[in-house]
Amino acid sequence: MVGSYANGAGKNGAAEGKLDELRRRLGKAEGDPLRIAGVGAGAWGSVFCALLQDAYGRDHRDKAQVRVWRRPGRAVDRATAEHLFEVINAREAVLRRLIRRCAYLKYVEARLGDRTLYADEILRDGFCLNMIDTPLCPLKVVTNLQEAVWDADIVINGLPSTETREVFGEIGRYWKERINPPIIISLAKGIEASLDPMPRIITPTQMIANATGVPLENILYLGGPNIASEIYNKEYANARICGSEKWRKPLSKFLRQPHFIVWDNSDLITHEVMGGLKNIYAIGAGMVAALTNESATSKAVYFSLCTSEMIYITHLLAEEPERLSGPLLADTYVTLLKGRNAWYGHKLAKAELTLEMGDSIKGKGTIQGVSAVNAFYELLSQGSISVTHPETKKHVAPVELCPILKTLYKILIKRELGTSSILEAIRDESMSDPRERIEMAQRQSLYRPSLLGLPKGDIKL
């Protein structure tokens, strides 16, 4: 099947061996399948579940079951239905599969306008609404959230960070009677900022822990240089799963596939924060690319400046943050290069989208960098967490040392500036060498534990 991960381990038993090992760790009895539930069906959430379905759910149904929850009722518009029909007919294997499943006729009818298709319906056939051009394997789709998660052993959070708290709050009610907490792998990239009673960040893994009562050692974050469609089409990729040693090592082994290498790392905070930051700066990268006619020099200048801001910010949030290298750097690079946030910035600069259209875009989903701009700006503009300015030696809010973040806030949130202001920010003649910002972050004691502090009643890290 084109675009599908064949379970090459089916012949040599490697996949079954990995599955059996994880089942033993979870205490699964013979005849009781490992239940994996995806929550949210955006591009990466859908692809991630499809990878697991291809690797384990298809050839080992008695030992593993994969299902995906998405909200019902999202209609597919006529133009998308017509494009989907073209995609189907351009891929013989997909066409034959749909004919074999007696599912082809509805796509013909939708193309002609005689039928309305729905997002959950087409996902069952392997089509993600946010990624129509990349057919996936057929998936079991559940539109009832309780049915999807109540007995799941592993839950994949494929929701935007802006929806994570609400949905997992509902899930928490279904899990009140559970004896053994599930493992949760969060793919969400973004943060919330809370200013009362003290400025602090709340990451998606913290949101999930607070909402469900699942201990943080059971909640992990997976991130890396992953453009969803390319990974499903077997482009070689790597990622890191971050969290407690108890689960990150066995899960890295379980998730690893020939074209998708997963390493493990203990620094959950840095990776989650970087996951949110990269989306912010990717919007700016798209603007720079559009405004300079894809100038490689301008994009490189922007990359050096924005990564120095990212490093500076992580030193405020982690005592010894993971260096911006390896998959962490690669994730930043690919997001600035090709992700949906960069696409959004590019479209804004070209005036093909407007801010009034919001941050939920047809065919792309939620542009998470917009809310992240607001969250990080609010957090880092608080005088109570002031730092020493390297030149004036005065106490200033940390955001004063992040000119790109400030500019993006004025463009996207306050709407005081046009997109061209991003070029002014990176061409400022008074701009310091980005190396100085990095050295200052490493030299000064910037770490502010209070930024990770949780108010009474929240679950501590």
User: Is 433 domain-assigned?
Assistant: yes
Catalytic residue among 18, 28, 63, 278: 278
Question: Do the Cβ atoms of 120 and 68 come closer than 8 Å?
Answer: no
CA angle 180, 224, 236 (to 5 degrees): 110
The CA-atom distances, in angstroms, between 153 and each of 148, 149, 183, 216, 415 are 11, 9, 6, 15, 45
299 and 164 in one domain? no
Segments forming the whole domain that contains residue 171:
10-72+141-266
Domain count, the chain: 2
Burial environment of residue 394 by CB neighbours within 10 A (0 to 12, 13 to 18, 19 or more): exposed
189 and 261 in one domain? yes
Whose tokens are 């929240």? That residue is: 458
333 and 310 in one domain? yes
Among 235, 266, 297, residue at a domain's last position? 266
User: Is 128 domain-assigned?
Assistant: no
359 and 327 in one domain? yes
User: Is 348 domain-assigned?
Assistant: yes
378 and 394 in one domain? yes
Among 266, 293, 311, residue at a domain's last position? 266
Instruction: Give the helix/strand (H/E) hosting 99.
Output: helix 92-100
Among 266, 282, 303, residue at a domain's last position? 266
**The CATH number of the domain where 343 resides is what?**
1.10.1040.10
319 and 249 in one domain? no
Whose tokens are 């609404």? That residue is: 129
280 and 257 in one domain? no
User: Is 120 domain-assigned?
Assistant: no
242 and 303 in one domain? no
Query: Is 28 considered catalytic here?
Result: no
User: Is 118 domain-assigned?
Assistant: no
Q: Which pLDDT score, from 0 to 100, does residue 444 have?
A: 64
Please, how many CA atoms are within 13 Å of residue 195, restricted to the half-sphere of its CB?
A: 11
249 and 306 in one domain? no
**The CATH number of the domain where 21 resides is what?**
3.40.50.720
User: Is 253 domain-assigned?
Assistant: yes
350 and 328 in one domain? yes
Digits of tens for pLDDT over the chain (461 positions)?
344 434 444 444 799 999 999 999 999 999 999 999 999 999 999 999 999 999 999 889 999 999 999 999 999 999 999 999 999 999 999 999 999 999 999 999 999 999 999 999 999 999 999 999 999 999 999 999 999 999 999 999 999 999 999 999 999 999 998 999 999 999 998 888 888 878 888 999 999 999 999 999 999 999 988 889 999 999 999 999 999 999 999 999 999 999 999 999 999 988 998 888 999 999 999 999 999 999 999 999 999 999 999 988 888 877 777 777 777 888 889 999 988 999 999 999 999 999 999 998 988 888 999 999 999 999 999 888 888 887 888 888 989 999 999 999 999 999 999 999 999 999 988 777 777 777 777 766 676 766 766 333 333 33
Q: Rounded to an integer, what distance in angstroms lies between the CA atom of residue 35 and that of residue 361?
A: 32
User: Is 23 domain-assigned?
Assistant: yes
SS3 117: strand
159 and 36 in one domain? yes
User: Is 391 domain-assigned?
Assistant: yes
211 and 325 in one domain? no
Query: Where does 124-249 show beta strands of DSSP type E?
Result: 140-142, 154-157, 183-186, 192-194, 200-202, 219-223, 237-242
Whether a cis peptide bond, with omega within 30° of 0, leads into 197 is yes
